[in-house]
Structure 1
Amino acid sequence: MSRQTETAYQFMKEKIFDGTFRPSQKLIESQLAELIGVSRNTVQKALLKLEQENLVEIETNKGATIKAYTLDEIIHYLEILDVLESLVVKNATHHLAADDMQQLETTVLQMEKCLDQNQLDEYTSLSMSFREIIYKAAKNQKAVELIRGIRSPLRRYQLRTMLLPGIKESSIKEHRKIYDALQKRDEQAVELAVRSDLAMVRESFLQNYQLLL
């Protein structure tokens, strides 16, 4: 991917994640090219990459739109994540080095500080960093690739989920539980903590789907 294509791709991806580009919104290539400062051909290449990540839909002679997900589709994604993340985190439990554990602890402390200061954007970024430390330690990287592919389209809902009452407090508790279980190298506790975290997310969608769109 060329530098300009990467620039266009990252620009549009962030606009999807932060909610500037809304589900089912039509994307006009000429407008995007002018906005980003690249050629229309570059925008088309970036859109193809976003289509591969299930973030946009491209139809012949109709152009691209931001992909919208039904509640059922989101719940199905979360059900798959429940299985895959349990597998990967259990797999990583005995492969995390001392430096990895230190990074996890530092990340959790930073997350707690962000919540105290109501810095939710930074909190969600740290939450992803927390998971990436674990993913990199896992031996089953094929499963990790699948997880990243599933989590990508769900990322747009992260910040809005954090704004729901009680979610940020529950979220940090779940991250702390995962860290504590990993520190003890307790596979069963790790699996329970990961599934508890995803169950909280699933319940949030079931109860507040319309608010999260």
Structure 2
Amino acid sequence: MAEQLAALAHDRALLGRTSTAERVSDILRTRIADGYFPPGTRLSEDGIGGALGVSRNTLREAFRLLTHERLLVHELNRGVFVRVLTVEDVEDIYRTRSLVECAVVRGLGEPPYRLEGVAAAVAEGESATAENDWKVLGTANIHFHRELVALAGSERTDELMRSVFAELRLAFHVVDDPRRLHEPYLARNREILGALRAGDKRGAERLLEMYLRDSLERVVEVYRRRVAP
């Protein structure tokens, strides 16, 4: 816990003089997504509040916001914990991803599309693979899908999927072999990008549907082995 609190103390500068529960929740959301607080971790009000230099009330409001986003869970007489997802949670996350991401690709207008962000995420994944950094590759894969969603040009959709992708990271943190989980999808990211560059949105949608189906099967397999009773 000392390492995590030291990282939060570094984040304290981000709060500035206008510290709010929303900004605190942004910091904690990022730290949870990055794996500083793995699923099942109890979050100390005193420790985190002291590291960030915020009041107990502000921190509790931030906890409430993240509980609403399904990243935290409050257990009576025990405290606040980073949520441990169930198989049903994972299946629902992927159901939402399929509904939203495929609809975004299907709804694209006439090409060419603005694919700079999508291409940058593929390049990020290639760089991580070259360095054998599989955790960063997982982050790059999420960035790829976030950039796909951004093609819709909808702030509401971006906001919705921000929470979904944060939940997805909770699932990734219990995976025992991140390379096996993430590496095969870099080539598939390239395929989807290639289809979009060619103006083939129907082909890109088909590739994305198969991608999400196969990814779901792989993550659920891990969950049934490591988490589910």
| TM-score when normalising by structure 2 | 0.75
1:19 aligns with 2:19: no
Equivalent in the alignment of 1:80: 96
Structure 1 distance, partners of 2:36, 2:158, is: 28
CA contact (8 A) 1:88 1:143 kept: no
Structure 1 residue 78: Cα displacement: 0.9
| Structure 1: gaps (5+ residues) | none
The range that moved more, 18-27 or 192-201, is: 18-27
CA contact (8 A) 1:93 1:185 kept: no
Is the helix fraction higher in 1 or 2?
Answer: 1
Aligned residues: 211
Structure 1 distance, partners of 2:46, 2:191, is: 48
- Aligned with residue 43 of structure 1, among 56, 59, 82: 59
What's the C-alpha RMSD, in Å, of the aligned pairs? 3.0
- Aligned with residue 183 of structure 2, among 169, 172, 182: 169
Equivalent in the alignment of 1:138: 152
Structure 2 distance, partners of 1:101, 1:165, is: 26
**For residues 1-213 of structure 1, what are the structure 2 equivalents within 5 Å?**
2-3=18-19, 5-6=21-22, 8-58=24-74, 63-92=79-108, 94=110, 97=113, 100-138=114-152, 142-158=156-172, 161=175, 163-164=177-178, 166-209=180-223, 210-211=225-226
The range that moved more, 23-32 or 135-144, is: 135-144
Aligned-pair identity (%): 21
| TM-score when normalising by structure 1 | 0.80
Partner SS state of residue 123, structure 2: helix
Aligned AA (1:56): L
Change (3 A) 1:76 1:133: closer
Aligned AA (2:211): D
Structure 1 residue 115: Cα displacement: 0.3
Structure 2 distance, partners of 1:167, 1:188, is: 26
CA contact (8 A) 1:121 1:159 kept: no
Structure 1 residue 200: Cα displacement: 2.5
Aligned AA (1:48): R
Partner SS state of residue 115, structure 2: helix
Structure 1 residue 179: Cα displacement: 0.2
Aligned AA (1:208): V
